[in-house]
Structure 1
Amino acid sequence: MSGEVTTIAAGVVNSWLPLAPILTPLGLGLLALAPLRRPLQVGVLLGGMALTLLFACLLLAATGDGTVLVSALGGWSAPFGIVMAADRLAAYMSVLGAVSGLFAAWFMVTEQDRVRERHHAFALLLLLMTGVQLSFLTGDLFNLFVAFEVMLVASYALAVLGSGREQLREGFRYIVMNLTASALLVLACGLTYGVLGTLNFAHLAQRSAELGPNTTVTAVSVLLLIVFAAKGALFPLGFWLPGTYPALPTASGTFFAAVLTKVGVYALLRVFTTVFPQDPALPQSLLLGLGAVTMLYGALGAVSQREWRRILSFTVVGSVGYLAFGLGIGTPEALRATVAYLAVSVLVTLALFLIAGVAERASGTRNVKARGFLEFMPLLAACFLLCALTVAGLPPSGGFIAKFALVRAGLAQAAAQGSPLIVVAVVSALLSSLITLYALLSVWRGFFWGKHPREEPVRRVPLAQRLPAYLASALVAGLSLGAGPLLAFSGTVARELGEPGRYIRGVLGTAPVVIPPPPTGDDVQKKDGPKEEKK
């Protein structure tokens, strides 16, 4: 490209929509820092989350025909400027993140924790949402690092807000692990730029396609895999998660559990399907191995615990293992099942953590051995049973449909390749589901079944605090009723991921990207004019 850089490349659909889910929580989060009365603070929080969800839904609708929407900041087109880019996958993740944020904000308002509210818990949750949305919608690798830092600075503050001993201990572990991962991501960004000369996702995909299979690019992609595996809490890099999430207040822990690990999974999906799809053998083998171990680790960890959110935190780890398993298979059918299971994992985790918050408030203890609450809270018991069946993958739940599709894709690929690693991963997936079912039925038997001890009081939980758990469970029920459309949509997303050229053209345009040569001494002399001779 000679001369001035054009502001909008040919064939690029420039739109404000990819910026809207980012700027909305950012602006209202900054507003929430102002010393407003509590009703106004509540309005800012809930209004910010609702508007973010609205813009995310508009973004999903706008990308429904396969269009890639781009917001070029400052009018500078990719790869020279900073761009936000939204295809179907990014918009889908934006909606899931916004739904989780709205429910978490609703529960945070009902908790009425005035101490944390005085220390800007509402603003921090909105800023955390900003980082999450930026992670899903950014168009280049370095701004993904920036998004992680925005997200993690807010999460650091939420993790230690309250200054309890358990919070500080687990928050310190969380901070150290994520700072290490962030340092590795900066290193990976530098190496990527050194090898390929760009950090824009579409331009990276174009450059890596031109190079073809390359050992240096594969090494860089494996480093990125390690970083995103740590963010997504794959074993053994997810050792921090089961202790951190239970130490948080319920609302913050709910949002962390439902969304933050999925940011790492999204990054893995984007990098290994769009950016570096040329030499998939080593990354896929690593993802299969890590996924198989993570599934079993999550299931066995859930069995070993006796507290509500510790059990559920291990099920979060196990669900990430299933997502890595699907990515490791890498076929279109497996990617379709993985995209569908993303919605299952986010929504069922959201519902279970909200149910746990209500159960802990009603019993006055974190322990699941309270007994007899079926008599007092039958609707909550029904919601928990539905979610337990979904996590374990039993019919007719949405979890069964997604897990069945994952296992079927694994068996088909194992038959085609004769890979023992895929067979091991399939066995791990089936065994983990059985162990998880046993762990969650133990929770049902311990908390809801039996006769409640008369000497133990049942604390009243307001309807406003129970309602988010009921509605989130209704969304989980909707996964089984809407399984057909969800799988059809997931299949479309999987096909788009298998065609990186569509994303490249949507972001870079149809004209080839030409980098102008650096100026020479002659160019500088022509620009400055002839120098006067010394007398």
Structure 2
Amino acid sequence: MIPGASLVLLPVLLPLLVAIVLLLVRGSRARFVISLGTAILTLACSALLLPAALRGEYPVASLGGWAAPWGIQIVADGLSALMVTLSAVAALLAVLYSRGSTDVRRERFGHHSLLHFLFAGVHLSFLTGDLFNLFVAFEVMLVASYALITLGSDVGQLREGFRYVVYNLIASALFVIGAGFTYGVLGTLNFAQLAQRSAELGPNATVTALAFLLMAVFATKTALFPMSFWLPTSYPEPPAAVSAFFAAVLTKVGVYALIRMFSTVFSAEGEVTHAVLLMLGGVTVLVGALGAISQRTWRSILSFTVISSVGYLAFGLGLRSESALAATVYYAMNSVLVTFALFAVAGVAEHLSRTEQVRLGGVLENSPWLAAGFLVGLLGMVGLPPTAGFIGKFALVRSGLEVGGLLAHLAVGAVILASLLTLIALISIWRGFFWGRVCLENVPVLARSTTIGAVLAVLLTTLLAVFAQPLYGASSIVARQLSEPAHYIRQVLP
């Protein structure tokens, strides 16, 4: 049995080491087998962190033997363990799906290696215990994403990749400034000690200003309005497997950072910061839904639904209640899996039809199973019964009504309206692509791994609703832990 302190390092170290190994391996099949085996092992290690974390016994690793707050801590509380497990699931699906959806040229020039560098950065983002190493994790993740978004050198990729790089470099510069100011004001970057010192200060204008600066950084990474303009044009450009992982996980890293900052670290800065998050969440869900209606290609429509989904999560965080946090965590599970499932279905649809356009017609007759997979994703994304999306959105709306107040009620109205608009946008795909006169001839053969990746993503989305009770129970435990930052402090600080 691997000790918890060592186990918590494996979701980061495994993909990082294998990313280096994959650069030296020749042969497409060998690279895929190593990549797939590592993804399975990483998922197993991530899942093993969950039981102890949910019991409140956080596995903590102090690198180099340096204790907190001076050393680097890798910590798996309930939220970290849950998010890294979700990310590992999406990583496994991405590796499977990439086997048939990524061309030989990209695969030969480091596709699998870059994927594992990306996984390592994402997992370190979820598990790190201090602000500076969160920045380091973001940069590892972003450098890998820069390469993946431009790998292949298509004109669209280079154009959107340039915007993506410039925009994220500006956000990273702001992150460094925010970390520097945080150290200057509070004298530490360790999350536990930051939480301790900000709680001792209580509501404080300087700390509130720091909180807003970091909120701006993470809102940019999350694609909250008005910092969301870069996402809808960037995410459709890479190959389908990369695009699906980006959409499902990368924005959730920013959401995780917001939850960590405004539940664990700046718990005393509640009134103004959470009101701003609530407002941003309500506006973002509407902007995403309206944008989805305006698009006419598969992944452009779905990219705007990603913006809406992060708006729901910001809305839940902004409500500042334990029940809303539980609903937010549960909805995050649904958002990761249903987003990956829809992007996987979109990739298959684009391959079958040889076009990104949704106005084709008659595909239901040729590919009923593809239509069924899209229907499951549609129901989950919109939040219709009996899906996990319905459970998560219903819980968010109920929490908003319980909290009360004009801003909360307006945000609830925005959430309901955005769900209706998203339904219209996704129904337009169904009507334009699956219904009507059959136009699809000579249907190409799909690689089995591509089909398996898409089917597994849809199946996992369905299982979220089947196992709603235990999963929502786990979300409630995570919310309770987040509402008690003192327990996190006791687990991390000696």
Question: TM-score normalised to the size of structure 2?
Answer: 0.98
Alpha-carbon distance in structure 1 between the residues aligned to 2:39 and 2:26 = 18
Q: Mind listing any 5+ residue stretches in structure 2 that lack a counterpart? A: none
| Aligned residues of 2:278 and 2:408 also touching (Cα < 8 A) | yes
Q: Does 1:50 align with 2:40?
A: yes
Q: Does 1:495 align with 2:463?
A: no
**1:274-306 deviation digits (Å, cap 9, x = unpaired):** 000102111111111111111001101111111
**1:251-277 deviation digits (Å, cap 9, x = unpaired):** 111110010000000000001000001
Q: Does 1:395 align with 2:380?
A: no
Q: Does 1:354 align with 2:339?
A: no
- Residue 457 of structure 1 deviates from its aligned partner by 3.8
| Aligned residues of 1:380 and 1:470 also touching (Cα < 8 A) | no
Q: Does 1:428 align with 2:414?
A: yes
| Aligned residues of 2:4 and 2:49 also touching (Cα < 8 A) | no
- Residue 38 of structure 1 deviates from its aligned partner by 1.8
| Aligned residues of 2:90 and 2:340 also touching (Cα < 8 A) | yes
Say if 1:27 and 1:428 are closer, same or farther in 2 by CA, change over 3 A.
same
**1:446-468 deviation digits (Å, cap 9, x = unpaired):** 111122126x5432323332221
Q: 1:430 corresponds to which letter in structure 2?
A: I
Alpha-carbon distance in structure 2 between the residues aligned to 1:14 and 1:79 = 19
SS of equivalent to 1:461: coil
Q: 2:416 corresponds to which letter in structure 1?
A: L
- Residue 423 of structure 1 deviates from its aligned partner by 1.3
Alpha-carbon distance in structure 1 between the residues aligned to 2:25 and 2:76 = 35
Q: Mind listing any 5+ residue stretches in structure 1 that lack a counterpart? A: 1-12, 510-535
Name the counterpart of 2:234: 244
Cα RMSD between the aligned structures?
1.1
Say if 1:499 and 1:90 are closer, same or farther in 2 by CA, change over 3 A.
same
Name the counterpart of 1:458: 443
| Aligned residues of 1:397 and 1:477 also touching (Cα < 8 A) | yes
Q: Percent identity?
A: 55
Which protein has the bigger helix share? 2
Q: Which deviates further from its counterpart, 463-472 or 161-170? A: 463-472
Say if 1:102 and 1:14 are closer, same or farther in 2 by CA, change over 3 A.
closer
| Aligned residues of 2:361 and 2:435 also touching (Cα < 8 A) | yes
Alpha-carbon distance in structure 1 between the residues aligned to 2:275 and 2:52 = 36
SS of equivalent to 1:71: strand
Q: Does 1:268 align with 2:258?
A: yes
Alpha-carbon distance in structure 1 between the residues aligned to 2:190 and 2:457 = 36
Q: Which deviates further from its counterpart, 459-468 or 241-250? A: 459-468
**1:356-403 deviation digits (Å, cap 9, x = unpaired):** 010000000000111111111111111111110111111111100100
**1:199-246 deviation digits (Å, cap 9, x = unpaired):** 000010111111111110110011000000000000110110000011
**1:181-216 deviation digits (Å, cap 9, x = unpaired):** 100010010000000100000010111111111110
Q: 1:449 corresponds to which letter in structure 2?
A: W
Alpha-carbon distance in structure 1 between the residues aligned to 2:132 and 2:447 = 45
Alpha-carbon distance in structure 1 between the residues aligned to 2:38 and 2:205 = 45
Name the counterpart of 2:435: 449
SS of equivalent to 2:61: strand
- Residue 143 of structure 1 deviates from its aligned partner by 0.1
Name the counterpart of 1:3: none
- Residue 14 of structure 1 deviates from its aligned partner by 6.5
Alpha-carbon distance in structure 1 between the residues aligned to 2:4 and 2:382 = 43
- Residue 112 of structure 1 deviates from its aligned partner by 4.7
| Aligned residues of 2:96 and 2:452 also touching (Cα < 8 A) | no
Question: TM-score normalised to the size of structure 1?
Answer: 0.91
| Aligned residues of 1:14 and 1:72 also touching (Cα < 8 A) | no
Name the counterpart of 1:404: 394
Q: Does 1:232 align with 2:222?
A: yes
| Aligned residues of 1:85 and 1:138 also touching (Cα < 8 A) | yes
- Residue 347 of structure 1 deviates from its aligned partner by 0.2
Q: 1:459 corresponds to which letter in structure 2?
A: P
- Residue 64 of structure 1 deviates from its aligned partner by 2.9
Name the counterpart of 1:378: 368
Larger radius of gyration: 1
Name the counterpart of 1:216: 206
- Of the candidates 262, 274, 278, which is equivalent to residue 268 of structure 2? 278
| Aligned residues of 1:363 and 1:457 also touching (Cα < 8 A) | no
Q: Which deviates further from its counterpart, 128-137 or 484-493? A: 484-493
- Of the candidates 304, 312, 315, which is equivalent to residue 314 of structure 1? 304
Alpha-carbon distance in structure 1 between the residues aligned to 2:309 and 2:322 = 20
Q: 1:434 corresponds to which letter in structure 2?
A: L
SS of equivalent to 1:361: helix
Name the counterpart of 1:365: 355
Q: 2:225 corresponds to which letter in structure 1?
A: F
SS of equivalent to 2:8: helix
Alpha-carbon distance in structure 1 between the residues aligned to 2:442 and 2:236 = 23
- Of the candidates 246, 268, 286, which is equivalent to residue 256 of structure 1? 246
Alpha-carbon distance in structure 2 between the residues aligned to 1:16 and 1:299 = 43
Q: 1:493 corresponds to which letter in structure 2?
A: V
Q: 1:250 corresponds to which letter in structure 2?
A: A
Name the counterpart of 1:199: 189
SS of equivalent to 1:268: helix
Name the counterpart of 2:328: 338
- Of the candidates 104, 110, 121, which is equivalent to residue 131 of structure 1? 121
| Aligned residues of 2:100 and 2:448 also touching (Cα < 8 A) | no
- Residue 35 of structure 1 deviates from its aligned partner by 4.0
SS of equivalent to 2:365: coil
Alpha-carbon distance in structure 2 between the residues aligned to 1:107 and 1:391 = 21
Name the counterpart of 1:296: 286
| Aligned residues of 2:334 and 2:389 also touching (Cα < 8 A) | yes
Alpha-carbon distance in structure 2 between the residues aligned to 1:38 and 1:464 = 14
Alpha-carbon distance in structure 2 between the residues aligned to 1:111 and 1:299 = 28
SS of equivalent to 1:16: helix
Alpha-carbon distance in structure 1 between the residues aligned to 2:383 and 2:256 = 22
